[in-house]
A and B are shown apart, each in its own frame.
Chain A
């Protein structure tokens, strides 16, 4: 599972982010991200509020509000940035949202089956019947200890915070993506729910080609879900990378020492000054 030297293993590179600059509303947020994720790896990204973690995740998922100013992203050998959000999903990219939206009236059953079948169709597979889908969905709900009536309910409407997060993992389990971007899926979970979510993630990791980028504020989840690499984002850049021990150090010491060590500061504005001086 652990790949120490990622650079030599070119064929298995799933995601290659090269000097990515992203802005929203004409404000620069990401300022040159470099990140390689190999097939089967799990990368954890940590970093203070506002450092650009969700921006990275959403830009990778194809959110149109995020403007790509510079840089390249190659996914499975293709130019990811050329693809629309739905095409990225068809190619196996999945984002578990930090704040899953509530969509009134749209039932989970209808929505998820439509999603699954559009992915299947894009990959030349026959659509799944309602019966087959229900069987699959039940199995995954059961694994995540979610009630079956979840399928009949409107998407995330009235779900508790924890239910919403588990629901993202449920969708991931049904859609079986190749690249999972998990944006703070562990935040706001009680210890039991955290265990369930972590088990869900680990089940997905049994597929050795599947890669994960897990954004988190807490080292806690990494005790259940072992990362291959840990990165720290600061001011829209990856300021430091390391192994699991980096997460432990962050938990203990916070982020100040990285700012000092690298000269990169939390807010992009400050970072601007630091870079040009």
Chain B
């Protein structure tokens, strides 16, 4: 894209305003940010002319006059305000409100000693060497313009690092919250997760909005899973219905590592999840599932790309969509298999359940295979709730609404019940039920 940016791109203008406040004045960090800025300036805003954005227009996020919350006062948020988004009090938790870390709302006491869980801004200011060669390494500034923009503008985010052989059992929760400050705001949260050799860590990222905040969230998460390490990860979108959310997750996995990730979307009026995984060693296991539940006129786009570079890699993607009202779901996924990646086992499936006549699903699963000894399958299905199912259940005494909701709930169940992080699984299950018209009737039967 060589389109010229309008004179006053709001995100560049924001950057100019907050530049002095951004953490990380070391050369390499400045350099990283500069590369991000250049990418953004050169490549410009994504448009629907690009294949990757064919079904999703991000124009609104370009045209809205977002302010950077760093120029505003700290939001008045209490623990009670967060309660609906948090897990129990013993959970290690990092909370960011409108882009800023909030020690008063976080709970770092619960972090296991061996692990490092800190705001990234602190690390960049106090000990930047710690993340050198990691930050911006997996989600490179040049990867795409919005990753560039995040790299240029991010104010803070979570840094999670687990040393060799250390096993963290309880999940670490990172909560990125936006609140209504009277005008639209743009935030660029940045998360870096590093699991060293043979370590294990579960991390949940929740993106949430209070009130009907009108926000633009441009999040980037990079996750490095070293040899034989395991990362469980859930990204949960509970943004406000006025928010536009673009989230890019870039995983890189070394040999024999395991990633089990779920990208779950309930919130935002417009969501784009980019989920990328580079399998750069042998014997890798990548389980990248997703669930999205659209209501009203929500638009939810999941864009995945799994790249197998070495032999004996297993990747499994199950993205399930439930689309109600006039919502729209988009899934575009690619399994890429390099010539050397023999014995790859790749699976990608995108079933959609259309609950309302006005809802719509687009699905484009893709294989790009350059090795000859692989097993890859992909597919998608789109269907509504079958009348035969409804009649069967009604003939047993369920009301039509109960029957419908039980079917939808159960459809989601295949993804929900496979979420490996228990409190996240419980939360997602509850959110599915909350989103059903007669969820209580189903809840009673569970």
Contact = CB atoms under 8 A, between A and B. Distances in A.
Interface in B412-446: 413-414, 441-442, 444-446
Interface residues of B, number: 26
B28 interface: no
Contact of B410 (A65, A97, A104): A104
A106 B397 contact: no
Contacts of B442: 110, 114
Interface of B: 386-389, 391-400, 402, 406-407, 410-411, 413-414, 441-442, 444-446
Interface residues of A, number: 37
Across the A-B interface, the 10 shortest Cβ-Cβ residue pairs: A105-B410, A89-B397, A115-B396, A114-B445, A85-B394, A106-B410, A119-B397, A118-B397, A115-B397, A86-B394
Given A111-B396, A113-B445, A127-B444, A118 B402 contact: yes
Given A86-B397, A122-B397, A175-B397, A111 B444 contact: no
A154 interface: yes
Contact of A100 (B387, B392, B444, B445): B392
Contacts of B413: 105
A89 B392 contact: no
Nearest to B351: A104
Interface in A95-124: 95, 97, 100-101, 103-107, 110-119, 122
A63 B394 CA distance: 9
Nearest to B403: A86
12 contacts: A64-B391, A65-B387, A84-B400, A86-B398, A86-B400, A94-B395, A101-B392, A103-B407, A105-B410, A105-B411, A118-B397, A118-B402
Contacts of B445: 110-111, 113-114, 117
Describe B's contact surface by its main secondary structure.
helix
B432 to A, nearest CB: 12
B396 A171 contact: yes
Nearest to A155: B392
A166 interface: no
A210 interface: no
A64 B414 CA distance: 30
Q: Which of B388, B391, B396 has the most CB of A within 10 A?
A: B396
A61 interface: yes
Contacts of B393: 103, 106, 111, 115
